[in-house]
């Protein structure tokens, strides 16, 4: 992963953010959330679970049951922060998965 370059398309950044979020050991999947609002639209299928906006990056995840949810959200934020370019990083934990 590399920090986004000036002018780099948001879809490329969204892919990098998705990869970083999935690197969290407790994240099982990305999700667009209950109202299907966390997504990056691009040619082909949208990327569900990551929305890159001017002032924020929103990530929707399904996580492994076990650890406290705030700790998992903070782990995802920490992994994504180097890519955020100063944007606020919001993490929505939309569901829990076994093991």
pLDDT at 23 > cutoff 50:
yes
Question: What pLDDT is attached to residue 16?
Answer: 96
pLDDT above 70 (res 9):
no
Residue 98 has pLDDT above 60, yes or no: yes
Q: Is 15 helix (H, G, I), strand (E, B) or coil?
A: helix
47: left (phi over 0), alpha (psi -120 to 50) or beta: beta
DSSP output for 51-90: EE-SSEEEEEEEEESSS-HHHHHHHHHHHHGGGSTT-EEE
pLDDT score recorded for residue 3: 45
The 10s digit of each residue's pLDDT in 29-53 is 999 988 888 999 888 889 999 999 9
Mean pLDDT value across residues 4-23: 79
């Amino acid at each position: 992963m590399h920090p986004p370059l000036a002018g780099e398309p948001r879809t490329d950044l969204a892919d990098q953010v998705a990869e970083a979020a999935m690197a969290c050991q407790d994240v099982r999947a990305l999700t667009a959330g209950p109202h299907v609002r966390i997504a990056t639209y691009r040619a082909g299928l949208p990327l569900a679970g990551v929305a890159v906006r001017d002032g924020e990056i929103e990530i929707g995840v399904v996580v492994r049951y076990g650890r406290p949810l705030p700790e998992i959200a903070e782990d995802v934020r920490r992994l994504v922060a180097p890519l955020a370019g100063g944007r606020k990083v919001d993490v929505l934990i939309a569901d829990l998965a076994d093991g």
